[in-house]
């Protein structure tokens, strides 16, 4: 603790400068904390770098749903399917996959959907408040479009619709010609569409994180580069984060290290099931055409986003070790399907990227205090929707740090919910 005038100023060290870390740091700074962020890289170069950019206040359907298991074998043998498992990593991933299947049970899905809705609904409003005028040109809330070629809705779609209705999500169902009216560059053959008017996207996920990181520095915080090795404890409390031989002192430590967070949690006695659901993107700097808004191909589970530096195709899930080599067949398969979606799409200068979604089995992040050190706060596990869930996560972290009453129920995000 340091003194600012007569007031003691509490110091917070935030480990990880991805979208979750920067928004936690800003929320703490707004409450008077002296904030230091530490990342091995420049801000936003982890999973937050390459995502699809979707900001989806209306996203409330968990990834694991009843009936999903029946679709998995077909996906696994489809080169262009949305899921692959790297067989040699299967033994290590199996316990997580079993939990994932259990999380898709009907009796749990409703609670997960409610928690996702609470976490996501205020997302854009928070971004707008935090960024102020900088939101212009960085975030566009012009809607999102889901499209299907398959004429008949599957059983999970019916459940997804019911969940959205229950949570008051506004959608508009579109037929083939209405889809083409919305996006004239799209190929024919898409028979069903769903428009989400309240959703949107960022034009550049990296610039978004770096803009927020700059705001932390403008507010007097520090954004440092270095490899954090462990959280230093004294008498059952964290006193800082050890990093490249020195200790960054803090009264509060926030673990927002994405997929690497479990190692820090494990050292504090907390075992959280976190799987790298690896995803890929293809960045097309000279795409020739642009989708009008963010569009998701729901048969193949990937999307195309119009960004300021081109069109980004992003998605697919690969269950594998975080450090396994990239498999270029995944982004190439997305690119092939995307070119069938948009016959005018050019792949000139295409660049591939892979990132690790830090995923829990139930699609909900962990936002909670550590068992052994109550001044360590976890903020990780945002899986497919970290960009969307990060603003409210920041608020919950700040509430845990200050003892103020959280404005949403924090119970679904407890670290010990996995038993």
Ligand X SMILES: Cc1cc2nc3c(=O)[nH]c(=O)nc-3n(C[C@H](O)[C@H](O)[C@H](O)COP(=O)(O)OP(=O)(O)OC[C@H]3O[C@@H](n4cnc5c(N)ncnc54)[C@H](O)[C@@H]3O)c2cc1C
Residue 242 contacts ligand X per CB under 6 A: no
Provide the 8-state DSSP code for 382: B
For tokens 């000139």, the residue is: 348
**Contacting residue, 210, 211, 262, 388, with ligand X by CB under 6 A:** 388
Q: Which is nearer to ligand X, 104 or 394 (CB)?
A: 394
CB of 49 or CB of 184, closer to ligand X = 49
CA distance 58 to 181: 23
Of 29, 51, 93, 275, which lies in the binding site for ligand X, with binding defined by CB under 6 A? 51
Q: Which of 34, 39, 140, 157 binds ligand X (CB under 6 A)?
A: 39
Q: Point out which span in 89-97, 273-281, 340-348, 395-403 binds ligand X (CB under 6 A).
A: 273-281
What is the chain's alpha carbon radius of gyration, rounded to the nearest angstrom?
21
Strand order in the sheet with 366-369: 222-225, 34-39, 11-15, 252-255, 376-380, 366-369
Pick the binder of ligand X from 160, 179, 253, 314 (CB under 6 A).
314
* Binding residue for ligand X, selected from 57, 81, 386, 412, defined by CB under 6 A: 386
CA–CA separation, 194 and 91 (whole Å) = 38
Among 60, 276, 338, 387, binds ligand X (CB under 6 A): 387
Whole-number minimum distance, CB 52 to ligand X, in Å?
Answer: 3
- Strand 200-202 relative to strand 54-55, pairing: antiparallel
Q: Please name which of 223, 221, 246, 250 lies closest in space to residue 237, comparing C-alpha atoms.
A: 250
Phi, psi (deg, nearest 5) at residue 3? -105, 130
Task: Report the residue from 53, 62, 81, 200 that binds ligand X according to the rule CB under 6 A.
Answer: 53
Q: Are 43 and 205 in contact (CB under 8 A)?
A: no
Pairing state of beta strands 252-255 and 11-15? parallel
User: Contact letters (x/-) for ligand X, 327-366, by CB under 6 A?
Assistant: ----------------------------x-xx--------
Binding mask 110-139 for ligand X (x = CB under 6 A): ------------------------------
Tell me the site size for ligand X, rule CB under 6 A.
Answer: 41
Residue 341 burial (10 A CB sphere; 0-12, 13-18, 19+): buried
Structure tokens at 36: 């230091």
Provide the binding-site residues for ligand X, judged by CB under 6 A: 16-21, 38-41, 45-48, 50-54, 227-228, 256-258, 260, 279-281, 314-315, 355, 357-358, 380, 382-388
């Amino acid at each position: 603790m340091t003194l600012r005038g007569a007031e003691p100023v509490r110091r917070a060290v935030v480990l990880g400068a991805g979208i979750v870390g920067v928004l936690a740091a800003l929320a703490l700074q707004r409450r008077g904390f002296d904030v230091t962020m530490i990342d091995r890289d420049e801000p936003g170069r982890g999973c937050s770098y390459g995502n699809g950019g979707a900001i989806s206040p209306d996203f409330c359907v968990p990834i694991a749903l009843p009936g999903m298991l029946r679709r998995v074998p077909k996906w696994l043998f489809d080169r262009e399917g949305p899921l692959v498992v790297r067989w040699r990593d299967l033994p290590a991933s199996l316990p997580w996959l079993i939990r994932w299947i259990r999380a898709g049970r009907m009796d749990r899905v409703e609670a997960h959907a409610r928690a996702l809705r609470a976490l996501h609904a205020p997302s854009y409003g928070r971004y707008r408040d935090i960024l102020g005028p900088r939101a212009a040109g960085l975030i566009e809330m012009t809607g999102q479009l889901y499209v299907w070629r398959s004429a008949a809705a599957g059983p999970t779609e019916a459940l997804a619709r019911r969940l959205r209705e229950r949570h008051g999500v506004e959608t508009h169902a579109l037929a083939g010609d209405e889809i083409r009216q919305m996006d004239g560059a799209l190929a024919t053959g898409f028979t069903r569409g769903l428009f989400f008017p309240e959703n949107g996207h960022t034009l550049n996920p990296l610039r978004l994180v770096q803009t927020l990181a700059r705001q932390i520095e403008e507010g007097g915080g520090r954004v440092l580069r270095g490899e954090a090795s462990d959280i230093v404890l004294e008498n059952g409390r964290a006193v800082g984060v050890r990093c490249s031989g020195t200790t960054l002192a803090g009264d509060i430590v926030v673990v927002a290290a994405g997929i690497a967070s479990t190692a820090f949690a494990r050292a504090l006695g907390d075992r959280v099931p976190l799987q790298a659901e690896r995803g890929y993107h293809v960045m097309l700097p000279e795409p020739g055409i642009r989708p009008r808004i963010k569009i998701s191909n729901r048969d193949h589970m990937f999307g195309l986003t119009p960004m300021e530096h081109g069109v980004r195709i992003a998605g697919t899930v690969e269950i594998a070790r975080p450090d396994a080599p990239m498999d270029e067949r995944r982004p190439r398969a997305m690119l092939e399907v995307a070119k069938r979606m948009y016959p005018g799409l050019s792949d000139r200068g295409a660049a591939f990227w892979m990132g690790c979604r830090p995923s829990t089995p139930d699609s909900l992040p962990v936002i909670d205090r550590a068992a052994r050190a109550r001044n360590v706060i976890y903020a990780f596990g945002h899986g497919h929707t970290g960009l969307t869930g990060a603003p409210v996560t920041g608020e919950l972290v700040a509430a845990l740090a200050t003892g103020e009453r959280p404005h949403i129920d924090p119970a679904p995000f407890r670290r010990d919910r996995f038993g």
